[in-house]
Amino acid sequence: MDSAVAALKLVEEGRTLETATVRLWPGSDRRSCCSPGALQRARGTAAWLGLPHHLVDREAEFAAAVVEPFVASYLAGETPNPCVVCNPMRLAALVGVADELGLARVATGHYARLVWRDEQPYVARGVDRRKDQSYMLWAVPPEVLARLEFPLGDSSKAETRAAAEAAGLPAAAEPESQEVCFAVEGYRPFLEGRGVAAEPGDIVDGQGRVLGRHEGHWRYTVGQRRGLGVPGGPWYVLRVDAALNVVVAGDREGLARCAVVLRDVLDRGLGVAGGGLSVQLRYRSPAVPVAALEDAGGGRLRVLLLEPFEGMAPGQSAVFYDAHEVVVGGGVIADSS
């Protein structure tokens, strides 16, 4: 629906427009954005709009760049965010299609805004904070950002749905797509389906005392409360030690962290952002004010927070915003303290 309304807006502006869908995964579940039904609906929506439609196959690239690292990350005791990895790949693929068609720009249905500073493109938060997707776009490189448009950046989800219904778009009644398009049943069944074995181990407290047993450390993520099967509590997952196959649990206060170390850092103005720099440590979580940034060596960055944050998990993204809600950098959480 979001992509359909974005296209509708551009058609109403009189823009020259063609549509494309990137096929990433061979799933058949209706909830997946790559199911045969979803592709058929995309083609039907394009036809309803009177626009050409192109199907772009990137299944092999997606499996190597997104799915395999997703599995490896869980096995390493992390909580990955595959959408952050997928967005740069599929948007670059769409830019490639635009080049082949002789089209200058690529529009998407993301709830984000594009701003320009010193002739450089940056992602900024969308007007609808509840649907804002700028967090998922932090790793898109500037050369790809420069080719993008976000027609829904100044709209709310309610306004988008109302526009779809008013126009009679076939996609008006479509439900929200799944966050992980290739694991619509959840990451645990997906990993099991790929042959990841259950290796029992201990659930321990901060002093190493055994509280219970688990059936595989990859079944647990930092901040998780339910499903531990440990008496007493409430218990929360504080850390996952993949090397020892141990899950560390404790009370909620044990989740609070005031510093985090990042890897794979993208710096687009962290040092010149000035006052008001904040960092978002999970999708849907509010950003936290930054106290200081320190070189942690080896290309890593230590971020000191002005207030504690509960449940930051290795593998998740940390996205920096300046006082104007513009993304000025990001990285992947490697450790917290």
- Burial tier of 29 (Cβ tally within 10 Å: 0-12, 13-18, 19+): middle
Active-site choice (33, 34, 83, 86): 86
Q: Is 193 exposed, middle or buried (0-12, 13-18, 19+ CB in 10 A)?
A: exposed
Is residue 33 annotated as a catalytic residue, yes or no? no
Q: Is residue 31 a contact partner of residue 184, using CB atoms and an 8 Å limit?
A: yes
Ranges of beta strands (E only) in 235-287 are: 236-241, 246-250, 256-267, 278-280
Q: Is the distance from CB of 19 to CB of 55 less than 8 angstroms?
A: no
Q: How many CB atoms lie within 10 A of CB 143?
A: 10
Catalytic residue, from 33, 34, 83, 181: name it: 181
* Cis omega (within 30 of 0) for bond into 234: yes
**Cβ contacts of 72 within 8 Å, gap of 6 or more:** none
CA distance to 255, 261, 293, per residue, from 290 (Å): 18, 13, 8
Question: Would you call 181 a catalytic residue per the annotation?
Answer: yes
Residue with tokens 């007007």: 127
Q: State the catalytic residues.
A: 86, 181
